[in-house]
Every structure is written in structure tokens, then in C-alpha cells.
Chains A and B, each alone.
Chain A
């Protein structure tokens, strides 16, 4: 079968739908597994969106949980207090998170590597502190340190899976466009990128905002699964979870991020009883990966898509967007 653009799309779409039905049939009836799969899908969204910022654009963000929180509280607040339907609430949460991402990114993205990381960490914590002090800032209904219980449980595995696929599709399409290439050039060499006509500031902020928006989407989904809004769900440790996924999967690889997202979810669940052990394994794996294989599982970057395609010649390409062969 000729690997034309439209054929590739049809095959990918078919593959995605097939996978969904397989998973649902296998695990759908069991509530626990269903719950874990939903969580896995949400983590895929978080990993892939963080990968856009860290992996593809090379901007080290440690505040992803903060944007998740914004999305969660906005979406959850809308459904709980104003009885807004699920999808518009999710969209509002994502939009809010994207806007916050834009506002945070604009001043912060001038900073270099390690300073940027600390600043984003700072903003993530500031968002959390603002939520904890919601009484003081005139939004007492957000529950402050106690949180809000009873958020409607709208998130199903179906929705989570749908949005995970949606996220992968959007970000893959973005990456395989001139705007995505611009982001990658920022990662590779900012000075050269500017010389090539890339407005590096614009693209850093763009990637940051898009990443933040998807984190907000994930947050909204998360809130409606947990059925709870609580500031402790969005600490720096959560951001470290996301970082671990991106690092494990390989910075700059969408497939890697997605796979790592699923893997880390499964791993966390398996070690649910022994939190200390889980964190120790996480921290060790961060160190070991950096020392031994910093490019992560997939080896990262554009090659990923191509190599997946090469592994199974002629069959489903893992959500490759259209466009040129040189770019995966």
C-alpha cells in the first residue's frame, strides 16, 4: 500500500480506534484497571505536552504541575459551581492554563537553562500558594488548603483516551510544520536560529503556552476523575513525575513521552504501597538515565517517528503527520 498522506492518516486513525477497543474490552469491566488506564492517558497528555517545552524547544520547565492546577481548578470550578457541561469546562481550563503559561513565559523565557528551571519551579509554587490562600485573594470557594470535594466524575477512559490521542496528534502535527521546526531550532542553537529568521522569543513562548494549555486539559480531566480539587495534588513533586516521564522516554520524542507516561503510571500503581521506595527508584532512575543514556528510551528527536515506521514497514506509522520525509 502506498504510504501517501491520506493513507497514513486512515491507518493511524484505524490503529488508534482499534487500540481503544482492545483496551476497553480487556480492562473496561474492571474498575481498578479502568481507573489506572485513565490515569495513564492523562499522564500521556502531561508527558507529551511537557516534552514540547523541554524536549523539542529545549526550555527546561519545572512548573508543569502549576498549569495542571490552573486547568483543574478552572474546569472543576466551572462544573461544580456553575454546572457548566464537561467539554466546555475542559476547554476553559485548557485556555486558562494556556493564558497563564503565556503570562509566565513572557518574562521568564528570557532566562537561561538552569535559571529558567528555577523560575518556572517558582511560578508553579506561587500558583499553588495562591490556591492555598484562596480565602485571602477573594476566591474562598476554591477551598484553600482543604480543597473542594464532590467534583462530578465526568472523566471516563474513553474521554481520557480521546484527549490523549488528540494531544499526540496536535503536537505531532505542530512539530512537523515550519513552526515546530522553528521550536526545534531554538533548542539546537538559538543564535543560529535567530540568524535564520526564527523569532526565538515568540517560539519559546508559543511552545510554552501550548504545553501549558495541554497540561491544563490534563488537569481538568484529572480533577474530574479524582472528583477532588486539592492543592497537594499539584506540588513540585508532581512536576518531577512529569520530568521523569520526559527524561525516561527521551527528550524530543513524542512516542517516548507517551510510552514513558504509560510506563510510569503502571510503575507508580505497582509501588503504590511503598511510596518511599517509589520515590527512591524515581530519583535513582533520573540520575542513572542522565549518566548512562541521557537520550532516554527512544534516543529522542525526529528519528523516533521514522524508526518506528522503519520497524514496521508499510504499516501504521505512530501518528506521523504529513509532510516531508526529512522531518519525522
Chain B
């Protein structure tokens, strides 16, 4: 009946929203870093994974309280992001992009295997930070976890918007992403701005990691690979380097994933992200919200 399939469709949309928010949070990190240093931070998905683990340990230290766990995780990941940037990416700022990408792959693998080495390959169970409850909106269902994900994501995005458009550091970030050399000539400490960008991006990814830990309580060292990839596709889809693009792309990827399970066998799920990526790169590389750029000869 029409009513029920509409209901099912809306339900899927709702399910897709929280998944999309997660992708959006991670995608923001990709897009901000690319916007400022033109680097695809291959290791970003693994920062998300580290964030989840940090949350896991924080819950052990502070008890299963959401806010402290979230804050500790975000702070820790921010620090990690800055360390990675300073140690591995900063020295290669003038090097060809291939060198930086190779290093980023190295960092990604290091995080994955390092975590596995130190903590062990077996997945850990993320503690329940809140008691699960499902609410009903008419015939639609939504769990409090989903609501938490949506609220936290929204809150963080609003905070990011505030930082980027209403603070001095945000203005500096925008300046540096527009023209690094001009920004430096205007007295902006470009190195500091870049570090801050990495810190913010990593913190957002960690928040996503904690939220995912709550929603799907199994975490393992390789959990960052696929979400990282999908979030990257989301950032490219929306327009890499464009902050609203990351949010738009994230939501779209989340919805696409939830809806595609209806039509394709789940084993194709991961390939869908790649197919979308390749289509975007070939047909509209600047993304949905992006502008074309050409090289000056």
C-alpha cells in the first residue's frame, strides 16, 4: 500500500540521517585539510578509529559518562592530528603531492597496525554510555542514540561554523585556504593555522568515533578504513575544500548507503562508494558545490 512504502521510505531517510551525520563529521576533517594544504589526509579515517579507542579508554577512566568521554577523545585526537601534521606532513609541504600522499598512506597504516600491535586485533566492546530507548513518531521509529548522534553532530557543525566565520582564527583559516602566501604576507602564522585546522578536523572525527562506538558497540583497529573512505567520497561529492559541501556530501552518502541496501546485495555496498567517487571525479570533479579551477601556464 502506498502509505506503508512511504513510511518505509521515510524510515530509511531517518536511518540514513544519523549515518550521514557521522560521514559528515569525518568528511569535514578531509575537506578542511584539503582546503588548506591540498592534501588528501589518508590517515584521517584512522584518526576516527583512534578517537573511538580513546573514548573506550576514557570510559574506563572516567566511567561511562558521555560528556567527559567525548571531550577526552576529541582532545586526544586533536593532539594526535597536530603531531601527525608536524612530524609527517609539514616537512613535505613543498614536495610533490605524490610524496605527501605516500607519507599519508604510511601514517594510515602505522595507526592501524600500531593500534593492533599495542591493543590487540580483537574488537572491543564499547561501553553503554546511555540506555537505549526507542521513540515513536507516528509509525516512524527513532532511537535515542540516533537523536544523540544528530544533536551532537549538529551542535559540532554549528560550533565549527561559528569558529570559521566568527573568530579570528577562523578568518585566518579562510585566508590561508584562499592564498597561503598572501596570508603569510599579511602576518598570519600559517603553520599555526594549519595545525589548528588539523586539530579541529581530528577532533570532529574523534567525536564521530565515539558516537559510532555508542551506536554500534564494536570497535577494532580497521574500523576506520571504510568509513574514512566513504567520508572522503562524501567530501569530494560535496566539493572538496568546501565546508557545507562536506555536510551535504555526508548526508547524501549516508542516505545512498541506507537506500542502496534495498536494491543491491550488501557485498556491493563498499564498491558503491568507489563507483560514486569515480563518477564524481570523471563527471564533476569540483563536486556539487564546487567551482572549476584551471592551471596558469
Interface residues of A (CB under 8 A from B): 54, 58, 60, 107-108, 110-115, 117-119, 121-123, 125-126, 129-130, 132-133, 136, 191, 240, 243, 247, 276-277, 279-280, 282-287, 290-291, 294
In the bound complex, do residue A111 and residue B285 qualify as a contact, i.e. CB atoms below 8 Å apart? yes
Given A113-B97, A283-B106, A290-B102, 6 new contacts (CB under 8 A): A118-B277, A123-B274, A126-B275, A129-B271, A191-B295, A282-B106
Q: Chain A contacts of B99 at CB under 8 A?
A: 290, 294
Q: Which residues from chain B contact A126 at a C-beta distance below 8 Å?
A: 271, 274-275, 278
A284 to B28, alpha carbons, bound, how many Å?
A: 27
Q: Which residues of B contact A294 (CB under 8 A)?
A: 95, 99
Whether the pair A243, B91 counts as a contact (CB closer than 8 A) is no
- List the B residue with the shortest CB-CB distance to A110: B282
Q: Which 7 A-B pairs have the closest CB atoms?
A: A286-B106, A283-B109, A122-B274, A287-B106, A129-B271, A283-B110, A279-B113
**Which of B94-148 touch A at CB < 8 Å?**
95-103, 105-110, 112-114, 116-117, 121
Q: Which of B61-69, B153-161, B202-210, B262-270 contacts A (4 or more CB under 8 A)?
A: B262-270
A133 in complex: contacting residue of B105, B113, B267, B282, CB < 8 Å: B267
Query: Is A60 a contact partner of B105 (Cβ separation < 8 A)?
Result: no
Q: What residue in chain B is nearest A130 (Cβ atoms)?
A: B271
A121 contacts across to B, CB distance below 8 A: 274
Selected contact of A291 from candidates B91, B109, B232, B274, CB within 8 Å: B91
Q: How far is the CB of B239 from chain A (nearest CB, A)?
A: 13
Contacts of B271 in A (CB 8 A): 125-126, 129-130
- Nearest chain-B residue to A144 (Cβ)? B267
CA distance A314 to B270 in the complex (A): 55
| Contacting pair A286 B281 (CB below 8 A) | no
Task: Sort chain B's interface into a size bin.
Answer: 35 or more
CA distance A270 to B95 in the complex (A): 33
Residues A243 and B103 in contact in the complex (CB < 8 Å), given A111-B285, A132-B267: no
Contact residue among B92, B110, B121, B270 (Cβ-Cβ distance under 8 Å from A284): B110
Q: Are A291 and B277 in contact (CB under 8 A)?
A: no
Interface majority SS on A: helix, strand, loop or mixed? Answer: helix
Which chain A positions have C-beta within 8 A of B103? 286-287, 290-291
A287 touches B107 (CB 8 A): yes
Q: Chain A contacts of B98 at CB under 8 A? A: 54, 58, 60, 113-114, 117
Interface residue B185 (Cβ < 8 Å from any Cβ of A): no
B107 touches A114 (CB 8 A): no
CB–CB B88/A279 < 8 A: no
Q: Once bound together, how far apart are the Cα atoms of A282 and B113, in whole Å?
A: 10
Could you tell me the distance between the alpha carbons of A320 and B92 in the complex, rounded to whole angstroms?
A: 33
Which residues from chain B contact A280 at a C-beta distance below 8 Å? 109-110, 113-114, 117
Q: Are A123 and B278 in contact (CB under 8 A)?
A: yes
Across the interface, name the chain B residue whose C-beta is closest to A104: B278
CA–CA, A290 and B96, complex, Å: 11
B33 to chain A, nearest CB (A): 12
CA distance A132 to B270 in the complex (A): 12
A114 contacts B40, C-beta separation under 8 Å: yes
Q: Provide the residues of chain B in CB contact with A291, threshold 8 Å.
A: 88, 91-92, 103
**B105–A240 touching, CB < 8 Å:** yes
